[in-house]
Amino acid sequence: MPPQEKSTTAQDNARNIVDGRAIAGQLLCELAGKVAELKKRGLQPGLAFVRVGEDPASKVYVGRKEKACKDLGIFSETHVLPETVLEGRLIELIGALNADPRLHGILVQAPLPKSISEARVYSSVLPHKDVDGFHPVNAGKLMLGDPSGFQPCTPAGIMELFARSGVQTAGAEVVILGRGNIVGKPMAAMLCQKGKNANATVTLCHSATRDVAAHCRRADILIAAMGVAHFVKADMVKPGATVIDVGVNRVEGKITGDVDFDAVQKVAGKITPNPGGVGPMTIAMLMSNTVRAAETWS
């Protein structure tokens, strides 16, 4: 292939990429202005991170969130507990953070040790400090379409990607791979609501779904959040569909998604890279929720 033709092909491929880093950067710039306004009124947003154990991925994720706070001027503090910590001690710490007026948000980094109930821990965070959107009150508000609650950051980030990259959800057939509480279920709830940037028809696929590939092939929007590396192949994607890759898998020491990106990009109308797609948006939405929590207190 001549050099000029190669260059044109590369440019064509790049046009269908939904750049999560760039869109997150836009959102963070907007938030920086809001933080500056709050500080003028004597209020600095505050966020606490709680990490249990020394899981390498968790350390990286919390580190990125700490950096985002620093860049925006959000006060943050990190509490690290040993893997052997008792559930009661963790909930006691969360109680202290709930009572701290400097903190508007609390994030407990997943995963937690198997000896600890995630449901009890997330329920112990006050709903108005639950910037991760996992408290039953916020989950209930999400299901009811009540915008006063906090939405989980990853699906909220995907909704923001749709809005800012011109993806039409109204009337669209959406297929979500994965029924987890962090992405799959709340994503389905957001997309089927009656409202702006929603109004989609949603199919939620999981391990007991028959002929997953057939569901995928009719999707206008396909969201992969199942944690299986390169599960989505090109022949599973409807030409021109939007493909969102949420998966985080470690293969041969590298992070990769649930989508066979190189092959699927040639078929998709729009596609998120991984890394560089959904991940930056998750952090941006965490910052957004924290700023909104502070604004509510102001």
Question: Residue 14 pLDDT > 80, yes or no?
Answer: no
Name the one residue in this structure whose structure tokens are 């995963």. Answer: 111
Distance CA 229, CA 162 (A): 23
Supply the pLDDT for residue 12. 55
Q: What structural domains does the chain harbor?
A: 42-126 (3.40.50.10860), 152-279 (3.40.50.720)
Question: Residue 120 pLDDT > 60, yes or no?
Answer: yes
Distance CA 297, CA 45 (A): 10
Asked if 46 and 294 count as a contact pair (C-beta separation under 8 A), the reply is yes
Q: Which residues are catalytic?
A: 65, 109, 132
Supply the pLDDT for residue 57. 87
Alpha helices in 193-241 (DSSP H): 212-217
Distance CA 242, CA 40 (A): 41
Supply the pLDDT for residue 253. 80
End-to-end CA separation in angstroms for the chain? 61
User: For 214-269, how does the pLDDT look when each residue is reduced to its tens digit (9 = 90+)?
Assistant: 999 999 999 999 999 999 999 999 999 999 999 999 888 888 999 999 999 999 99
What mean pLDDT, rounded, does the chain reach?
94
Asked if 135 and 122 count as a contact pair (C-beta separation under 8 A), the reply is yes
Q: What is the pTM (predicted TM-score) of this model?
A: 0.93
